[in-house]
Amino acid sequence: MAGDNSTAGALDGILVADFSRVLAGPYATMMLADMGAEVVKVERPGAGDDTRHWGPPYGPDGQATYFAGVNRNKRSVSIDLHSEEGLARAKELAAKADVVVQNFRPGVMERLGLDYATVAASNPGVVYASLSGFGTSPEGASLGGYDLVVQAVGGMMSVTGQDADHPVKVGVAVIDVLTGLHLGMGILTALYHRTATGLGQHVETDLMSCSLASLVNQSAAYAGAGTVAKPLGNRHPSIAPYEVFRTAAGELAVAAGNDSLYRRFCGVLELPELVDDPRFRTNPERVAHRDELIPVIEERLATRTADEWFELLREVGVPAGPVNDMAGAFSFAERLGLDPVVDVEGSRSVRNPVRMSATPATYRSPAPRLS
């Protein structure tokens, strides 16, 4: 489906000088670009962003799909920040930008004279967004911030996988994505503040902090109660049944998140005896007796396919669905009318997930070639 570019974006007129690379920063700036901002992506001459070379796979235009997935609607400029001429161009861009985004290691922009204090001296309205792996303390600044490492040291691997002996990373660089979203929220908040005061500010976040915040109930359990979570595979530490089950064909995710849903679930499975069993009557009891409950459910689910159970469960409003691969996921979204793919000048891209009635996302250009 082609993108609709007829409506002005909410961020039309906002100039973003994007000095970020790889994923978290570029994801944040692409979200801003989708909403109308003009994003100028500063890249190394002859090489560009690292993700330009992270392939296969490659799209029909030969670009790495990794790079294309987080850099649409941007304009690329090659600037050598180590040359006098290039640095002058970069400073000129920062001086007129509404937003500057950078994810160099702490200290690099200071050495270049492109840090917040220097840029704000001549551009007091600038919203300057800095992204790091582990913060700006001497200990944190010395560490390289890659998603795999942060998933390890930040606790996410410790709650992912089947058991504590085999920690597993999430199948996508989820900390980078979540950090990009946090950074984008900080930028938008600072822009809103600027409309009232005329003044910009320094927005900072880091992968480690965003990892801890994004672990939500697991990190809250430790911060609030000292509880150290363990991996439960596809199970939930506080809800049952809330996991993935084998069926006669395919696997089925079921999220019976309250007692009413559990009763409806048992009704579809034709297992009324599980409703009033004192071991399973309430959610805390089901969690405590999960190892007795789950085998009974699994035995019944083995009598139909995942798709058959999905149709039966959706009729009574029980959250459930088959476990899809990427092709199945896109097909599922299409069936729901979500139009997950947009065509941007012949390049297929994943639709921005935010829908706005007055100022929707626009899709003006695919990821740029290196200038």
6: confidence class by pLDDT, cuts 50, 70, 90: low
263-302 residue pLDDT tens: 999 999 999 999 999 999 999 999 999 999 999 999 999 9
pLDDT of residue 97: 98
Q: How far apart are CA 128 and CA 185, in angstroms?
A: 13
Q: Is residue 209 part of a domain?
A: yes
Contact 362, 9 (CB under 8 A): yes
Residue 58 has pLDDT above 50, yes or no: yes
Helix, strand, coil fractions of the chain, as percent rounded to 5: 40, 15, 45
Q: Are strands 242-246 and 251-255 parallel, antiparallel or unpaired?
A: antiparallel
pLDDT of residue 4: 54
Q: Is residue 100 part of a domain?
A: yes
Quote the radius of gyration of the chain (alpha carbons, Å).
Answer: 24
Q: How far apart are CA 186 and CA 361, in angstroms?
A: 19
Q: Is residue 234 part of a domain?
A: no
Q: Are strands 99-102 and 15-18 parallel, antiparallel or unpaired?
A: parallel
Residue whose C-alpha is closest to residue 59's, from 72, 49, 47: 72
Q: How far apart are CA 15 and CA 93, in angstroms?
A: 9
Residue 1 has pLDDT above 50, yes or no: no
Average pLDDT over all residues of the chain:
95
> Among residues of the chain, what percentage have pLDDT more than 70?
98
Q: Is residue 223 part of a domain?
A: no
Task: Please indicate whether residue 253 or residue 165 has the higher confidence score (pLDDT).
Answer: 253
Tell me the CATH number at 100.
3.40.50.10540
Please return the burial class of 63, using the count of CB atoms within 10 Å of its CB with bins 0-12, 13-18 and 19+: buried
Q: Is the dihedral of CA 329, 332, 336, 340 positive or negative?
A: positive
321-349 residue pLDDT tens: 999 999 999 999 999 999 999 999 989 99
8-41 residue pLDDT tens: 799 999 999 999 999 999 999 999 999 999 999 9
Q: Would you put residue 362 in left (φ > 0), alpha (ψ -120 to 50) or beta? A: beta
Residue 50 has pLDDT above 60, yes or no: yes
pLDDT of residue 68: 96
pLDDT of residue 2: 47
145: confidence class by pLDDT, cuts 50, 70, 90: confident
Residue 167 has pLDDT above 80, yes or no: yes
Residue whose C-alpha is closest to residue 39's, from 141, 149, 238, 184: 184
- Could you tell me the residue range of the domain that residue 27 belongs to? 15-214
Q: Annotated catalytic sites, by residue?
A: 176
Q: Is residue 270 part of a domain?
A: no
Q: Is residue 104 part of a domain?
A: yes
Task: Please indicate whether residue 8 or residue 151 has the higher confidence score (pLDDT).
Answer: 151
Residue 309 has pLDDT above 50, yes or no: yes
139: confidence class by pLDDT, cuts 50, 70, 90: confident
Residue 259 has pLDDT above 80, yes or no: yes
3: confidence class by pLDDT, cuts 50, 70, 90: low
How many structural domains comprise the chain? Answer: 1
Mean pLDDT of 299-308: 97
Cα-based angle 26, 32, 4 (whole degrees, multiple of 5)? 115
